[in-house]
């Protein structure tokens, strides 16, 4: 591309910039988690106005030409330190995660130069799951990164890190959470290794730092299942809710969006649960699910962003009509907001006629496969496609 020979109007410049964004993900729809954190339109306007005040300043002049920059940085660091329980600790405001990691590695290097001047080939011990910016920092500062294995639970292997420490080690790294999996390394155990060897410890908490300390203060969790689980363990996770002898009636809807009118119905029926064992479950299933072609698998609900499963449970046969009636009424009240798809495992026997719309354009192909491999309909438990 060549530099234009003529200038453009403001309108042309803005139109060109907007066209260039046509292929970008919609960050304001929550689809760029860990990259962009949108709060809302009003918050965005405040950011724009605040940024416009300082867009012509330069950090090189902080404290002298632009005294406000050093003042604001000091206030931000002080407030953050006090909030996180480390009052009076030093800090910096950076441009992002990579710069923060680079500065952290530089701190480890400078400390080693002061305390271990005999080290000429410095090494940093970090788990394989640590952020790639640590490799950038190692390249810049001439440090060798020693990446250690992670456990089957996708967290740092503490013993492997301890074994990797040698006379050239200048620091260790832990993540809370880590970059690829979102799991939290055993920071306390890794800190003990650092303390034992008088080494620098860098905890990469650019996402978790302002969330993890406060999550449990929001209230007593009903369930705590955050983390990676073996497949067999996850299959048994709901066994306590599915006790033998209990009576169940389930319904399901998919939604492309959740609006206020839908939530009004959810709140109304949640206030009329027929038994304490009943629940209304809503999950976000958008994102990567929607990027798979509909014809690639049997699952056709790629356009849905949310699924709602209604779990109606009770113990006595005398409550059948009341509990089933509640579920059917709730299902009917929320149907105007739903798409044609649903979670098949939560369909009662009477909803078998919904299968053709749920599988959509895949239904005919699935019937052909069923007719070829299971013409006697041996596999027919729950909702199934008849040959």
Residues of the chain with CATH 3.40.640.10: 97-204
Q: How far apart are CA 228 and CA 210, in angstroms?
A: 22
CATH code, residues 246-373: 3.40.462.20
Residues of the chain with CATH 3.40.462.20: 246-373
3-class DSSP state for residue 240? helix
Residue corresponding to tokens 């990469």: 204
Instruction: Supply the pLDDT for residue 28.
Output: 79
Residue 61, C-beta contacts closer than 8 angstroms, at least 6 positions apart: 69
Of 309, 310, 301, residue with least CA distance to 339:
301
Structure tokens at 133: 């910016």
Of 205, 210, 326, 195, residue with least CA distance to 273:
326
Q: Residue ranges of the chain with pLDDT lower than 50? A: none
CATH code, residues 97-204: 3.40.640.10
Instruction: Supply the pLDDT for residue 217.
Output: 80
The half-sphere exposure of 202 on its side-chain side, counting CA atoms within 13 A, is 28
Q: Residue 102: enclosing H or E segment and its boundaries? A: helix 97-115
Residue 288, C-beta contacts closer than 8 angstroms, at least 6 positions apart: none
Predicted confidence (pLDDT) per residue in 331-368, tens digit: 999 999 999 999 888 888 888 889 999 999 999 999 99
Instruction: Supply the pLDDT for residue 311.
Output: 92
């Amino acid at each position: 591309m060549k530099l234009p020979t003529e200038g453009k109007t403001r309108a042309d410049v803005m139109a060109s910039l907007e066209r260039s964004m046509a292929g970008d993900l919609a960050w304001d729809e929550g689809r760029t988690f860990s990259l962009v954190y949108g709060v809302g339109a009003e918050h965005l306007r405040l950011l724009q106005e605040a940024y416009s005040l300082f867009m012509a300043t330069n950090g090189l002049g902080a404290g002298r030409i632009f005294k406000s920059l050093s003042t604001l940085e000091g206030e931000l660091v002080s407030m953050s330190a006090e909030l996180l329980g480390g009052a009076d600790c030093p800090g910096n405001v950076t441009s992002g995660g990579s710069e923060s990691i680079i500065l952290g590695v530089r701190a480890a290097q400078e400390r080693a130069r002061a305390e271990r001047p005999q080290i000429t080939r410095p090494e940093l011990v970090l788990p394989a799951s640590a952020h790639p910016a640590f490799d950038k920092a190692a390249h810049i500062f001439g440090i060798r990164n020693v990446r250690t294995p992670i456990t089957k639970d996708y967290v740092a292997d503490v013993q492997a890190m301890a074994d990797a420490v040698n006379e050239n080690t200048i620091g260790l790294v832990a993540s809370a959470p880590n970059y690829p999996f979102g799991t939290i390394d055993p920071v306390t155990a890794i800190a003990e290794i650092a303390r034992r060897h008088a080494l620098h410890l860098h905890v990469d908490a650019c996402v978790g730092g302002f969330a993890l300390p406060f999550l449990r203060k929001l209230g007593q969790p009903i369930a705590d299942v955050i983390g990676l689980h073996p497949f067999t363990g996850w299959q048994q996770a709901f066994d306590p809710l599915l006790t033998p002898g209990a009576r169940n009636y389930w319904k399901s809807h998919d939604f492309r969006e959740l609006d206020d009118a839908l939530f009004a119905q959810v709140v109304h029926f949640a206030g009329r649960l027929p038994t304490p064992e009943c629940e209304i479950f809503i999950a976000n299933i958008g994102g990567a699910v929607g990027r798979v072609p509909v014809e690639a698998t049997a699952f056709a609900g790629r356009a849905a962003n949310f699924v709602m499963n209604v779990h109606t449970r009770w113990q006595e046969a005398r409550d059948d009509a009341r509990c089933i009636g509640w579920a059917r009424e709730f299902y009917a009240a929320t149907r105007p907001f739903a798409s044609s798809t649903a979670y098949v495992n939560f369909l009662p026997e009477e909803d078998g006629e919904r299968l053709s719309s749920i599988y959509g354009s895949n239904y005919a192909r699935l019937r052909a496969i069923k007719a070829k491999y299971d013409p006697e309909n041996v596999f027919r438990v729950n909702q199934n496609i008849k040959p």
